[in-house]
Amino acid sequence: MKVDPLTLLQDNNDITTVLGPMVRYSKLSFRELCKFYNTEITYTPMILAREYVRNSNARISDLSINSEDGCTIAQVGVNNVTDLMRFIEMVGPYVDGIGINCGCPIREQVREGIGCAMIYNEDLLIDMVKAVKDKYGSTLRLETKIRIHENGKPERTVKLCKNLCKVGVDWITIHGRTRTTRSSEPVDLKAIKFIVEQVRTEYPDSIFVANGDCFNDEDMQKIAKITGVQGVMSARGILSNPALFDGYKTCPWKCVERFMYIVTEHGALPFALIQHHLYCMFENMKSNKLLLKELMELKHLPSLIDWLDQNFSFKRHGEEGFAQAVEIPYRAIQQT
């Protein structure tokens, strides 16, 4: 059953929680995990439209969904109207919305005219949004995820957002950094606030999501309060703590057990990716460093399950106490 993301974002009673698009990591299994812990909207990794519409292998590998995959936005990297419309024809019926990636700063993507390149090619971006909304109207939700232009004060970004609202974009996600700002530098919440306030002078019902530096519940509340947005997106924070939006300051053990159940049921993630997801969770839990080293030396899924059994009270789905523990249930090895 489809879920309207705009309805979630328009709910004034609470902040809408959003899992951001992450290359490799925001795949079906991880999206499903996060939705157990109060994440309302999730994004796929960026899918390259040109590859997807032309290559059957890309269509098999780039998008996985199921009946448990809640409110899901397919994020697309695209640099022309034709590929975008073809992509939407193929993907639109199976997801709850489409997000155009206008924020990825990776050089290879920018050289292709996608990601951050799109905020400097405003006319093309506006044409793409207009083409989609002219054809689909409110039957398809469309978002753009942007960064801030490098010009001291983000007036150019304000103009872009106003034009996007004019042609009917359903909501705009703003990553509060420029294309050259390192992730180690603080997100610019004042810039997001400025953009939101300026756009709402002309489009008072415009919907915004803020992205950047959301690592816990306090961050989420602070970001929403300062910027005035309806939703807050997390990527790096929720990768390490999938229960971030459920109020947990560090990753609870139950995430590990539920994640392992999901990935063994789906059978869709490469082992190295399962391994890295677990590493991020264990590191966030401040697990024993020797165990982290052992984890990364494992070679396949059966050895991982054995390792979990040897070192922890690791419960399976259907077993009493499954996915309930918060603290790490060590067996013999104590945390150092």
Write out the DSSP string of 187-245: P-HHHHHHHHHHHHTT-TT--EEEES---SHHHHHHHHHHH--SEEEESHHHHH-TTGG
149 assigned to a ligand binding site: no
285 assigned to a ligand binding site: no
Q: For the domain 5-240, what is the CATH superfamily, name and number?
A: Aldolase class I (3.20.20.70)
The pLDDT tens digits of the residues spanning 87-98 come to 999 999 999 999
236 assigned to a ligand binding site: yes
175 assigned to a ligand binding site: yes
Residue 135: band (very low, low, confident or very high) from pLDDT cuts 50, 70, 90:
very high
Residue 1: band (very low, low, confident or very high) from pLDDT cuts 50, 70, 90:
low
Task: Give me the percent of the chain exceeding a pLDDT of 90.
Answer: 86
Q: Which of 77, 105, 70, 251 is nearest to 177 (CA)?
A: 105
Query: Per mean pLDDT, which range of 45-59, 121-135, 214-228 is the poorest?
Result: 45-59
Residues 6+ apart with CB under 8 A from 91: 47, 52, 63, 74, 76, 98
Q: What is the mean pLDDT of the chain?
A: 94
Q: Which of 250, 198, 192 is nearest to 222 (CA)?
A: 192
Residue 116, helix vs strand vs coil: helix
Tell me if 272 sits within 8 A of 58, measured CB to CB: no
Sign of the torsion angle spanned by Cα atoms 66, 249, 20, 171 = positive
Active site positions, annotated: 104
Output the pLDDT for position 139. 97
The token pair at 238 is 């929720």
Residue 60: band (very low, low, confident or very high) from pLDDT cuts 50, 70, 90:
confident
Task: Give me the percent of the chain exceeding a pLDDT of 70.
Answer: 98
The Cα–Cα gap between 62 and 41 comes to 19
The pLDDT tens digits of the residues spanning 20-57 come to 999 999 999 999 999 999 999 999 999 999 999 998 88
Residue 334 scores a pLDDT above 60: no
Output the pLDDT for position 68. 76
75 assigned to a ligand binding site: yes
Ramachandran angles phi, psi of 233, nearest 5°: -105, 140
Tell me if 36 sits within 8 A of 19, measured CB to CB: no
Q: Which helix (H) or strand (E) holds 286?
A: none
Taking the domains of the chain in order of start, what are their residue ranges?
5-240, 250-335
**Mean per-residue pLDDT for 289-303?**
96
Strand spans (E) along the chain = 16-19, 41-43, 47-48, 71-77, 97-102, 142-147, 171-175, 208-211, 231-234
Instruction: Give the number of other Cβ atoms within 10 Å of residue 189's Cβ.
Output: 18
Q: Identify the residue with better confidence: 331 or 281.
A: 281
The Cα–Cα gap between 10 and 143 comes to 14
